[in-house]
Structure 1
Amino acid sequence: MRIYLLIAAIAGGVTWLITPLIRHIAIHIGAVGEVRARDVHTVPTPRMGGLGMLIGFAFAIIYASRIPFTAGLFEGNNQEWVILIGAVLICLIGMADDLWDLDWMLKMSGQLLTSVFVAWGGLQIISLPLGSLITASPSLSIAITAILIVASINAVNFVDGLDGLASGIVAIGGIAFAIYSYIIARNSPSYASMATLIDVAMVGICVGFILHNWHPAKLFMGDSGSMLLGYLITCASIVMTGRLDPASIHASIYLPVFMPILLPILVLFLPVLDMCLAIVRRLSHGQSPMHPDRMHLHHRMLRIGHSVQGAVLILWGWAALIAFGSIMILFFRASHVLIGFCIAVVLLTVATMYPYLKRRLPEIAQENMTYKAARRKAQHASAQETVTDNEGPREHK
C-alpha cells in the first residue's frame, strides 16, 4: 500500500509542478477558452491542463516500471505501454480541440480510432459474467471495449463544467475502484496490480491538478484533460474486471461490481447520468447529441442557488455515495450499508435543495398569507352583500 501511495504522490507532485508551465504554454499558443453563452466562468481562461496531467501520469508509470514491487507487471507484457500510448493519443486529440475547437464528429472519430488501437493492442474485455462465463470473439471484444472507452471519455467530458468538478469526481471513483482492485489483488501471489497502479496514478494527477483548478481556476483541463481521465478510469476497470472469472472469486467480493460494463457506470455515475440526460434532451428537441446547452447537472445546481464551490462539493458527495456504496458491502452487512445509504441520500438531498427551499419557503408562506387575506376579504364582501340583500327595501301594503 505504501508503494501505491508513493506512486500517487509522485504523479500528483509532478502534475502540480508542471501545470504552471503548461499554463504559460497554453497562453502563448492561444489555447485560451473564450467566454461562451453556456460557460460559467466570466474571464477568458487558458486550458490544455490535460497535458500536465499526462506528464504526471507518464512519469508515475515509468517510475513504477523501475521499482521491484511493480516491475513484474511490465515484464513480458506490453499492455501497460499500449495504455500509455493510448493516453498520449487521446490527450493529443483533446489538445487539438483545445486549440482549434474540432468538429464533434472529427473528435469522436479520433477517440474511436484510438480506442480500437488500444483494444487491438491487448486491452480487451475478454469475458462477460452474465450468469456464466461467456467468452467473446476477438472482434466482439474489441468492439465492446472501444465503445465502452468512447462512452466514458465523453461522459467525463460532459460533466467538466465547473472548476474542480470532473477531476474530483474521477478521483473519487478512482479511489473507490483502487480499493476494490487492491482487495482482489490480495488473492494473487503478488499484491501488485496494474489496475490499482493506473488508479492511484490517476488519482494523483487529479489531486495535483485540482490545486490549480479550484475556483477561481487558473487553468482549465480542457478536452485534453477530461478525455484523458475518462480514458484512464475505463482502462483501469477493463484491465481487472475484463478478465475476471466469477467462479474464482467469492460472491460477496464480486457482487459490488457485477460486470465490466457496469463498473464505469458505478464509479462515474454522475457523468454517465448527465450524458444520458443531455443526449435524450437534445434529441427530443431535434438537436445533435453534442449540441451545447446550459442544462447540465452543474448548471441546474447553480440555478438552484448554490455557489460554484458549493455545487462542486455536493456533486462530489453524490459521486462518493454511489462509488463507495458499491464497495461497502465488502466490509459491512448489506442491510447496514442500505441504511447508511438511505441516510446519506436524505442528507445530500437536503443539502442539494437547501438554497431553493431557503428562498422558496418564505415565498410560499407569503403567497399563502396573500391568498388567505384575499379569501377573507372575499368572504367579508360576500357577507356584506348578503346583509344588504336582507336589509333592502320591502314592499309596503
Structure 2
Amino acid sequence: MPRLGGVAIFGAFVLSLAAALTTASLRPDLRFGSSLHILTTMLVPGCMIFILGLYDDVRSVGPYVKFTVQAIAAAMLWLGGFRILDLPVLFGARQFPWFVGLALTILWVLGITNAFNLIDGLDGLAAGSALFSTLVVFVVAVLSHSSLVALMTVALTGAILGFLRFNFNPATIFLGDSGSLFIGFILSALALEGAQKAPTVIAVAIPVVSFGLPILETSLSVLRRLIGGRPVFTADREHIHHKLLQLGFSHRQVVIVLYAVSALFAMLSLFLLWPTGSSLGLVLAVVGTGIWLGVQHLGYPEFGEIRRVAQRTLDQRQIVINNLAIRRATAELKVARDYPQVCRILLAAFSSSDFDAFDLNVKLLISEYSALEIGDSIPVTHGEVRYRWNRPGSLALPATAPTWGLTLDLMTSSNRRRGSMNVHRLYQDHPLQLDVNILISEFPVALANALDRVIEHAVARVPLSKGDNGLVEAQAG
C-alpha cells in the first residue's frame, strides 16, 4: 500500500487555506488581519517538515537528521513569534530568558511532532487521534477570538476527515512520515499561536491534555527504553497499540479504544476552559489515575521492575530492622555462656525476621554426648541435640507446606564443624526483607563458636563416663 497519504493531507490543507484566504481577500468583512505573517511563519517550516517526511517515506532518514531539521523548523517558529515565554502554572508570571524560551519551544515542537509519528502504527490511529486534538485547538481558538487559528484547524480537520475515509482499517493508503510529522508539527504550532491569546492555564494545560495519547505514548516509549538500557531510537513492538493487540483485541477494536482515550483526553482538556483550582485538580486526578491503571493493565515489565524497586525502597526500614537483629544476635552469640541463652538469642533474631522456621542441628563427640546425656544443661534426645522453631500460627515446616530454605554450615574459627542450621520461608510474592549476606557471613561462625563454647562448658561440669572419640549427629529439641 502507498505510504504517501501525507501528500493528500498536505495538499488538502494548503488548498483549503488558499481558497479561504482568497475568499477573504475579496470580502473586507472576512479579512484575517496579519494572516500573511502568521501563515508564512507556520507554513514555511511546515513545508520543511513535510518534505523531510516525504523523503523519509521514499528513502530512509536517520533520527539525528530528522531531529536537526525539526529543530531548525522549530527555531523558525520561535523567530516568527511562536514562542513559549513562560510557564505560569509552574514558575509564576516571570518570563524566561530568550534562550530558555527557545529551548522549550524546540522541545515542545519536537515532542509533539514525533509523538504523532510514534503512534502511527495502526490504520487510522494517528489521524483519528489528531482529529480530536485538532477539535480542541479549534474550540480554544474560537473562544480566544483567534480567527486564523480557527480557520487553519478547520482546514486541517477537513483534510484529516477526508483522509480517514481511506485510512481506516482496512486501509488503502497510509499516512506515512510525511503526514504524521506534518500533522504533529502543525498542531504544535497552532497550539503555540493559540496560547499567545489564551489565559495562562489554558495556554499551558489544555494543549498538553488534549495531546494526551501521543504524549503518553512518547513518554512511555522513552522511559521503557531508558529503564531497559536500550537506545531511545530503537524500534520495538511494545507500544500501547501493540500491547492491546497482545491482550486479544482486534485491529479495529484497538483503534476504537484509543479513539475513546483520545476523546476522553479532549473532553478533559475542555474542562480547563474555565479554570479553577478544583477543575484543574479534578482533571489531573482523573488523568493521573487513568494513566496509572492503564499502564498497570498493559503489563510493561520495565515499570513492574520500577514498582518493585520503589516497594523495596519503602521496605528499607524493615530491612534495616531485620539486618540489625541478625547483627545483634551475632554480637550476643560471641558472649553467650549457656545453651538456653543461645536458643533465646536465635528466637529473638528470627521471630522478627521474614523467615518462618529454622532447625538447629549440632554435631557432638561421643565423649560430649555421654557427658551431656548424664547432665541436664543441654537436652539430648535419642543421641541428638536439636532446636526447632516455627512461627506462631504456622504448622511444622517444611513438612506441612512448600518452602524454600537456606542451609548454614556451622564451622568454628578453629575449623571444627559443629553441625548446621536450616532456615525456611514460605513461598510468597513479598520479597525477603533481609540482606542475606549478613546471614551467611559472620553469623554462622559466631553461632558455631557459641555452641562449641557452651558444649565444652557443659561437658566440663559433668564427669565423663565414656571416653570414645568419634562423631555422632545430634539435634537440639
Distance (whole Å) between structure 2 residues aligned to residue 201 and residue 289 of structure 1: 34
**Equivalent pair of 2:206/2:272 in contact (CA under 8 Å):** no
1:82 and 2:41 correspond: yes
1:271 match: 214
1:298 match: 241
Residues 244-276 of structure 1: CA deviation (Å, up to 9, x unaligned): 4x4xxxxxxx65x3x43x443211111111111
Distance (whole Å) between structure 1 residues aligned to residue 69 and residue 193 of structure 2: 22
1:221 and 2:175 correspond: yes
State how 1:187-226 maps to structure 2 within 5 Å. 192-226=146-180
Query: Cα offset for 1:166?
Result: 0.5
1:318 and 2:261 correspond: yes
Distance (whole Å) between structure 2 residues aligned to residue 323 and residue 274 of structure 1: 16
Give TM-score scaled by structure 1 length. Answer: 0.65
Residues 175-216 of structure 1: CA deviation (Å, up to 9, x unaligned): 12211221222xxxxxx5222222222222111111110111
The one of 112, 133, 136 equivalent to 1:173 is: 133
Greater share of helix residues, 1 or 2?
1
Residues 17-46 of structure 1: CA deviation (Å, up to 9, x unaligned): xxxxxxxxxxxxxxxxxxxxxxxxxxxx21
Max Rg structure: 2
Query: Cα offset for 1:332?
Result: 11
- DSSP-derived class of the 1:289 partner: coil
Give TM-score scaled by structure 2 length. Answer: 0.55
Aligned residues: 288
Distance (whole Å) between structure 2 residues aligned to residue 171 and residue 309 of structure 1: 17
Pair 63,126 (structure 1): closer, same or farther in 2 beyond 3 Å:
farther
Pair 65,141 (structure 1): closer, same or farther in 2 beyond 3 Å:
farther
- DSSP-derived class of the 2:81 partner: coil
1:103 and 2:62 correspond: yes
Greater share of strand residues, 1 or 2?
2
**Equivalent pair of 2:138/2:154 in contact (CA under 8 Å):** yes
Distance (whole Å) between structure 1 residues aligned to residue 113 and residue 121 of structure 2: 15
1:94 and 2:53 correspond: yes
Which amino acid letter does the alignment assign opposite residue 115 of structure 2?
A: A
Q: Structure 1, unaligned stretches of length 5 or more?
A: 1-44, 186-191, 247-253, 354-381, 383-397
Distance (whole Å) between structure 2 residues aligned to residue 267 and residue 122 of structure 1: 23
Pair 141,194 (structure 1): closer, same or farther in 2 beyond 3 Å:
farther
Using the TM superposition, name which of 88-97 and 53-62 deviates more. Answer: 53-62
The one of 91, 96, 102 equivalent to 1:136 is: 96
State how 1:276-295 maps to structure 2 within 5 Å. 276-295=219-238
The one of 44, 68, 72 equivalent to 1:113 is: 72
State percent identity of aligned pairs. Answer: 26
**Equivalent pair of 1:162/1:312 in contact (CA under 8 Å):** yes
Greater relative contact order, per chain length (Cα 8 Å cut-off, separation 6+): 1
**Equivalent pair of 1:178/1:196 in contact (CA under 8 Å):** yes
Superposition misfits of 4+ residues, deviation over 4 angstroms: 329-335
1:59 and 2:15 correspond: yes
Distance (whole Å) between structure 2 residues aligned to residue 318 and residue 123 of structure 1: 29
